[in-house]
């Protein structure tokens, strides 16, 4: 069985964070930081990524990365693996450099790229490393405002174009826009994060929900079930009652033995509604939460011995998945 799915599609935009194992430093000196930037440049050329912003802190880094080819997994695996190999060779060490897998938040570009870039560029200020973001060398910010080197693998123009079409004025306005946030206490756009994985407006959340429906989610999407438009438990019970030609009350009432339709309803409500076992137990006449799992297990055993039942359950399953 393969790894659970990342949210990945052509044109997706991500806020990427990767931290050192046990919160240890991943950048020891400037030579390490230069090497990491060289790797970012190489993967821009090799896989066609668009890097809108970056900041390298001592024990972690942030990227705002767009993938026109929908190849996040390949790109990030390559970046972290190559940098880990470099560090292990240089410092004669072995083992993991990063703390687990990188964190990837998918971002609504039109609504959140601009404030997220500002928030990212202010990381060194919030960490009390510098008083002004342009004083921090290991960030894309100096290039944005004409105070540092510009790299051809950083996509400056989308953000600057939000402030005008000429060259000098957008840089000045982006600088003003960023400095405004230094005075604000609630400028963190990540407070709008949904399901620990999506940053966007309602229509964007709906788009992502439709993309991932019926697919296994990556473990870091802690509240992944919230991203899916789940069918209501009552609608599931109604569909099961119709398929088994039985009254809904008979399904919901406890005490009836060998009630396969009830077991099927419990199974599907547990699988697709997003409700917890305690809530499901209340819905089905106040049964104990452990009885919910037991009912699902009984149904699976009965399906193995009853081809007709198995076919009915599979037909219902296809309805709830779509």
Q: Over the stretch 23-72, which tens digit does the pLDDT of each residue have?
A: 899 999 999 999 999 999 999 999 999 999 999 999 999 999 999 999 99
pLDDT in tens, 131-169: 999 999 999 999 999 999 899 999 999 999 999 877 779
Cα separation, 286 vs 273, whole angstroms? 17
Cα separation, 78 vs 93, whole angstroms? 19
pLDDT in tens, 202-224: 888 888 877 776 555 554 443 34
Domain co-membership, 218 together with 245: no
Domain co-membership, 112 together with 180: yes
Question: Element (H or E) spanning 19, and its range?
Answer: strand 12-19
In a domain, 204, yes or no: yes
Domain co-membership, 183 together with 35: yes
> Dihedral (C-alpha) 283, 284, 289, 291: value to the nearest 10 degrees?
-170
Predicted confidence band of residue 290 (pLDDT cuts 50, 70, 90): confident
What angle do helix axes 307-321 and 233-244 make, rounded to 10 degrees?
Answer: 150
Question: Residue 230's pLDDT is what?
Answer: 64
Domain co-membership, 309 together with 192: no
Domain co-membership, 192 together with 304: no
Question: Residue 176's pLDDT is what?
Answer: 94
Q: What backbone torsions phi and psi does residue 306 show, to the nearest 5 degrees?
A: -135, 100
In a domain, 52, yes or no: yes
Burial letters 83-102, b for 16+ CB under 10 A, else e: bbebbeeeeeeeeebbbeeb
Q: Is 304 exposed, middle or buried (0-12, 13-18, 19+ CB in 10 A)?
A: exposed
Residue found under tokens 């990491």? 36
Q: What backbone torsions phi and psi does residue 49 show, to the nearest 5 degrees?
A: -75, 160
Q: List alpha helices for 165-306, DSSP H.
A: 168-181, 202-212, 233-244, 248-252, 260-272, 277-283, 289-305
pLDDT in tens, 291-306: 888 888 888 888 888 8
Question: Residue 186's pLDDT is what?
Answer: 57
Domain co-membership, 211 together with 268: no
The overall average pLDDT reported for the chain is 86
Domain co-membership, 296 together with 278: yes
- Residue 231 in this model has a pLDDT that exceeds 60: yes
Q: What backbone torsions phi and psi does residue 244 show, to the nearest 5 degrees?
A: -95, 0
Question: Residue 39's pLDDT is what?
Answer: 96
Domain co-membership, 311 together with 250: yes
- Which structural domain, as residue segments, surrounds residue 135? 12-226
State pTM to two decimals: 0.68
> Count of domains in the chain?
2
Are 254 and 260 contacting, i.e. CB atoms less than 8 angstroms apart? Answer: no
Last residue of a domain, one of 210, 226, 242: 226
Domain co-membership, 69 together with 218: yes
pLDDT in tens, 244-281: 988 888 888 877 667 888 998 998 888 777 677 888 88
Question: Residue 298's pLDDT is what?
Answer: 87
């Amino acid at each position: 069985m393969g790894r659970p799915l990342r949210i990945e599609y052509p044109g997706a935009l991500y806020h990427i964070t990767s931290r050192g194992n046990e919160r240890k430093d991943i950048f020891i000196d400037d030579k390490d930081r230069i090497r990491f930037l060289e790797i970012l440049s190489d993967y821009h050329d090799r896989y066609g990524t668009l890097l809108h912003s970056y900041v390298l802190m001592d024990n972690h880094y942030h990227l705002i990365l767009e993938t026109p080819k929908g190849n996040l997994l390949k790109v990030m695996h390559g970046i972290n693996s190559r940098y880990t190999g470099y560090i292990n060779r240089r410092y004669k060490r072995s083992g993991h450099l990063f703390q687990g897998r990188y964190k990837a938040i998918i971002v609504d570009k039109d609504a959140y790229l601009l404030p997220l870039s500002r928030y990212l560029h202010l990381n060194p200020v919030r960490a009390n490393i510098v008083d002004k973001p342009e004083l921090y060398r290991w960030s894309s910010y100096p290039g944005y405002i004409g105070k540092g080197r510009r790299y051809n693998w950083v996509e400056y123009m989308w953000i600057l174009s939000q402030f005008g079409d000429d060259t000098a004025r957008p840089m000045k306005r982006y600088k003003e826009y960023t400095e405004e946030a230094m005075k604000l206490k609630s400028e963190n756009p990540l407070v709008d994060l949904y399901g620990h994985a999506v940053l966007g407006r309602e229509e964007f959340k709906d788009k992502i929900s439709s993309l991932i429906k019926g697919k296994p989610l990556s473990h870091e999407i802690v509240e992944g079930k919230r991203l899916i438009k789940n069918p209501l438990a009552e609608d599931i019970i109604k569909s099961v009652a119709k398929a088994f030609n039985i009254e809904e009350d008979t399904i919901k009432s406890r005490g009836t033995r060998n009630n396969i339709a009830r077991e099927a309803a419990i199974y599907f409500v547990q699988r697709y509604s997003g409700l917890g076992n305690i809530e499901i137990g209340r819905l089905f006449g106040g049964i104990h939460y452990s009885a919910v799992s037991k009912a699902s297990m009984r149904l699976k055993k009965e399906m193995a011995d009853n081809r007709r039942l198995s076919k009915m359950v599979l037909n219902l399953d296809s309805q709830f998945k779509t």
